[in-house]
Amino acid sequence: MTMPPVLLNDFKRQWSEIGDDVLRAVAAVGASGWYVLGEQVQRFEADLAKFWGLPAAVGVASGLDALEIALRTLDLRCGDRVLTTPLSAFATTMAIVRLGAVPVFCDTDASGLLDLDQAEAILSDDPGIRFLLPVHLFGQSLDLDRLASLRDRFGLAIVEDCAQSIGAEWQGRATGTVGRLAATSFYPTKNLGAMGDGGALLTADPEVAARARRLRDYGQSAKYRHDEIGWNSRLDELHAAILAEAVLPHLRQWTQRRQDVAAAYTTGIHHPGVRLIRPSDGAKSCEHLYPVAVARREQFEAHLKSRGIATGRHYPILIPDQKALDGVRFEQKGELPNARAIAETEVSLPIHPQLSDDEIERVIAAVNEWPAAD
């Protein structure tokens, strides 16, 4: 008898867990007769800000928009340079480029997160760089103490890309609290996933929050009064209600389950050809992804597939190597060997809150039984 596959995300199981709450949220929005930027959005923003421990959250249409609007509130201008990572979702760089600014790519460390030693060296050499867009990749946290000291020493304006890091901490401090703003995403696969697209930016600065609220709504400061060119990037009531009513209330428990799965993998997986990419001491990951590095990637993936286990790659092509950047102005500091090594060897194992104990054991056994010889 073949076993059902172990999926990277199991949205049908999630639906059986939250479907009734989702339907109740939808019914409430329908009955309210108000569909965009209303009470549900306000309530969700308040709940999210409280969860995060930051004073203000502003709901927008996607994680990409959250990054763009966040950068705009820092008065990023055409031609400004933004230090960032070459190993992320393409949206991280797209936000910079769409504003006419210039991404400056710095290598990662061996775990795939921005190398803060190198970032420091680049900033020392090149005081013209005033913006930093780091990513808390895989749900792991960068060293927030070092990030804060770079911010203070170089006077940096920082947006933290927290699309993968909701709930992650550095020594008890949430990611997204060092930069002027945090940007996050509610894309369905994210830890706080909607049934469609959505995003938010968070900030402790009330003026920044107020400006972001105007920018998401055509730059309006009052009805039909437009003070600057903005976006149509409103979060709708349906998504806000679903997130507030059916998803956010589970987030702590789901994050705990992800952390339990990660702990089981970390103690259970022993294979000389499989390197676990784990958070550094001091970081508490929200375990958005469980990355490992293997030399013979295709073979490893085929082996897991033959055992009915799905895998992902985050990310197989470095951002500066993407065709879309042909003819786009960017800078690359060195050959980016660490980021390149991750791009060539990384495989993501299934990690989501609906994994059963049996499935966790199946993943561990399949990895450990990967034939070591060619």
Ligand X SMILES: *Cc1c(COP(=O)(O)O)cnc(C)c1O
* Smallest distance from ligand X to CB 231, Å: 13
HSE (CB half, 13 Å, CA atoms) of 251?
25
Which residue of 138, 187, 315, 330 would you call a contact of ligand X, by CB under 6 A? 187
* Closer Cβ to ligand X, 108 or 274, answer by number: 108
Write out the E strands in 134-198.
157-161, 169-170, 173-174, 181-185
Q: For residue 83, state whether it binds ligand X (rule: CB under 6 A).
A: no
Which residue of 85, 164, 175, 285 would you call a contact of ligand X, by CB under 6 A? 164
Please state, in angstroms and rounded to a whole number, the distance separating the CA atoms of residues 314 and 286.
16
Q: For residue 63, state whether it binds ligand X (rule: CB under 6 A).
A: yes
Which residue of 9, 85, 92, 140 would you call a contact of ligand X, by CB under 6 A? 92
Residue entry with tokens 């596959």: 5
Please state, in angstroms and rounded to a whole number, the distance separating the CA atoms of residues 231 and 373.
54
Residue 14 tokens read as: 């999630």
Contact yes or no for 187/193 (Cβ under 8 A) = yes
Measure the CA angle with vertex 210, ends 204 and 211; round to 5°: 110
Please state, in angstroms and rounded to a whole number, the distance separating the CA atoms of residues 339 and 87.
6
* Smallest distance from ligand X to CB 137, Å: 6
Please state, in angstroms and rounded to a whole number, the distance separating the CA atoms of residues 43 and 1.
48
Q: For residue 89, state whether it binds ligand X (rule: CB under 6 A).
A: yes
**β-strands 220-222, 225-226 pairing:** antiparallel
* Smallest distance from ligand X to CB 95, Å: 8
How many amino acids of this chain bind ligand X (CB under 6 A)?
A: 15
* Smallest distance from ligand X to CB 164, Å: 5
Whether the bond into 315 is cis, omega within 30 of 0: yes
* Closer Cβ to ligand X, 198 or 364, answer by number: 198
> Contact region for ligand X (CB under 6 A) — 43-51, 56-64, 68-76, 122-130?
56-64
156 by Cβ neighbours in 10 Å (0-12 / 13-18 / 19+) ranks as: buried
Q: For residue 185, state whether it binds ligand X (rule: CB under 6 A).
A: yes
Please state, in angstroms and rounded to a whole number, the distance separating the CA atoms of residues 1 and 111.
38
* Per-residue contact flags (x/-) with ligand X for residues 124 to 163, judged by CB under 6 A: -----------x-------------------------x-x
Which residue of 60, 64, 156, 269 would you call a contact of ligand X, by CB under 6 A? 64
Q: For residue 62, state whether it binds ligand X (rule: CB under 6 A).
A: yes
* Smallest distance from ligand X to CB 362, Å: 27
Residue 296 tokens read as: 């013979």
Residue entry with tokens 């991280």: 92
* Smallest distance from ligand X to CB 66, Å: 7
302-361: contacts with ligand X (CB under 6 A): none
Which residue sits closest to ligand X, CB atoms considered? 63
> What is the contact surface with ligand X in residues (CB under 6 A)?
62-64, 88-89, 91-92, 135, 161, 163-164, 185, 187, 197, 199
